């Protein structure tokens, strides 16, 4: 090949490369075009072989022509890349335009869960009466959940609460009453505590949930009587449901209290007249209570001849359902935003 021919060929190649680069509309495509011309086995590189065969006096001229072709293609490549990047940026800016004049989207203020709201209010009422909050574990031993509360092994009273058993000795507590024993063991008398918390039972229908919340109350000291229990619960009912709300005690049975009672409040919907909610009785059951059984005091090494106490346990969901007119307890645990946003 003559040097002039080589020069001409290089001119053609670089003009073609510049055209092809101009048409590449992806960065990858432009890189491929560049490699096709300038890569190790690219078209320009191939002409190096022809250069070697030229007479020595023509080589500088041919060398210059090759360098010219290379830099033309390099420059075209660089400027195409710049263009493509600019185009891409423009496209993104267009797609991601933020209209700062639009009104802000409101995310809504967060609120406590309805059960938590009720629980906080109940706790506050008892705190105003001088009760302190105590806590206990949700995974309990058989001893604290049953035995120390005067449920002997194999006693039928254990069937009053369907228990989730974990191992021979561990279970999910079925009530907050184990905190009574734990507190009596840990603190000096007199004791005046409430213990709010989650409890578990194998139980599920409109008014029963496998996980629910109770608030336990315990007061132990000298000269504590049933009338103190009645006065405390009457004050609680009036602060919770309104002045003048009456309560009544119905005889009941719990292994850890003697005597025991179920406590009803006057129906807050019909004020005792009788309605659908209270099944025409005029009363709604809200808690279990009683005088701490001497056997329970003895389990905690308390002299039952000298000290007495009362205890009560209420269901938080039951009160929330009453106050908020919720007919199905399971609604509280479904985390349905529409349901929760009502409270």
> By the criterion CB under 6 A, which residues form the site for ligand FA5?
161, 175, 177, 201, 203, 208-209, 212, 214, 216, 254, 257, 285, 287-290, 311-313, 315, 317-318, 329
Cβ closest to ligand FA5, residue 259 vs residue 272: 259
Cβ closest to ligand FA5, residue 59 vs residue 208: 208
Cβ closest to ligand FA5, residue 10 vs residue 289: 289
Residue nearest to ligand FA5 (CB): 315
Omega before 190 cis (within 30°)?
A: yes
Q: Which residues of 187-196 are buried (b: 16+ CB within 10 A; e: fewer)?
A: eeeebbbbbb
User: What is the closest distance, in whole angstroms, from the C-beta atom of residue 252 to ligand FA5 in the complex?
Assistant: 8
User: What is the closest distance, in whole angstroms, from the C-beta atom of residue 201 to ligand FA5 in the complex?
Assistant: 5
Cβ closest to ligand FA5, residue 142 vs residue 317: 317
Instruction: Say how far apart CA 119 and CA 215 lie, in whole Å.
Output: 8
Instruction: Say how far apart CA 343 and CA 85 lie, in whole Å.
Output: 52
Distances (CA, A) of 163 to 140, 155, 199, 201: 11, 14, 10, 5
Q: Where are the alpha helices (DSSP H) in 105-166?
A: 114-128, 142-145
User: What is the closest distance, in whole angstroms, from the C-beta atom of residue 254 to ligand FA5 in the complex?
Assistant: 4
Instruction: Say how far apart CA 22 and CA 79 lie, in whole Å.
Output: 9
Cβ closest to ligand FA5, residue 84 vs residue 129: 129
Distances (CA, A) of 282 to 165, 242, 271, 273: 38, 16, 7, 5
Cβ closest to ligand FA5, residue 8 vs residue 225: 225
Cβ closest to ligand FA5, residue 47 vs residue 199: 199
User: What is the closest distance, in whole angstroms, from the C-beta atom of residue 186 to ligand FA5 in the complex?
Assistant: 18
257 with 292: CB under 8 angstroms? yes
User: What is the closest distance, in whole angstroms, from the C-beta atom of residue 119 to ligand FA5 in the complex?
Assistant: 13
User: What is the closest distance, in whole angstroms, from the C-beta atom of residue 110 to ligand FA5 in the complex?
Assistant: 26
Nearest one of 294, 310, 314 to 302, comparing CA atoms: 294
């Amino acid at each position: 090949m003559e040097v002039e021919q080589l020069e001409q060929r290089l001119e053609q190649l670089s003009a073609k490369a510049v055209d092809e680069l101009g048409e590449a509309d992806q960065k990858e495509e432009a890189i491929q075009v560049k490699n096709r011309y300038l890569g190790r086995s690219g078209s320009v590189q191939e002409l190096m072989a022809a250069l070697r065969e030229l007479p020595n006096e023509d080589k500088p001229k041919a060398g210059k022509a090759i360098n010219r072709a290379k830099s033309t293609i390099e420059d075209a490549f660089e400027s195409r890349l710049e263009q493509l990047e600019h185009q891409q940026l423009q496209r993104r800016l267009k797609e991601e335009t933020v209209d700062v004049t639009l009104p802000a989207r409101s995310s809504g203020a967060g609120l406590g869960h309805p059960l938590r709201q009720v629980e906080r209010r109940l706790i506050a009422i008892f705190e105003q009466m001088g009760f302190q909050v105590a806590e206990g574990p949700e995974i309990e031993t058989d001893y604290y959940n049953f035995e120390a509360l005067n449920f002997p092994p194999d006693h039928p009273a254990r069937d009053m609460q369907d228990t989730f058993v974990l191992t021979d000795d561990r279970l999910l507590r079925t009530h907050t009453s184990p905190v009574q024993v734990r507190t009596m063991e840990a603190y000096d008398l007199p004791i005046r505590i409430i213990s709010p918390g989650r409890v578990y039972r194998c139980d599920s229908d409109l008014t029963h949930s496998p996980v629910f919340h109770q608030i336990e109350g315990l007061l132990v000291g000298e000269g504590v009587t049933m009338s103190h229990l009645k006065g405390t619960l009457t004050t609680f009912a009036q602060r919770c449901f309104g002045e003048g709300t009456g309560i009544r005690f119905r005889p009941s049975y719990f292994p850890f209290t003697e005597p025991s009672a179920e406590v009803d409040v006057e129906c807050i919907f019909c004020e005792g007249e009788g309605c659908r909610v209270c099944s025409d009785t005029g009363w709604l059951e809200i808690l279990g209570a009683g005088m701490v059984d001497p056997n329970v005091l003895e389990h905690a090494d308390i002299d039952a001849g000298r000290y007495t106490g009362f205890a009560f346990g209420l269901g938080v969901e039951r009160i929330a359902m009453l106050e908020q007119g919720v007919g199905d307890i399971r609604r509280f645990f479904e985390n349905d935003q529409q349901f929760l946003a009502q409270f």
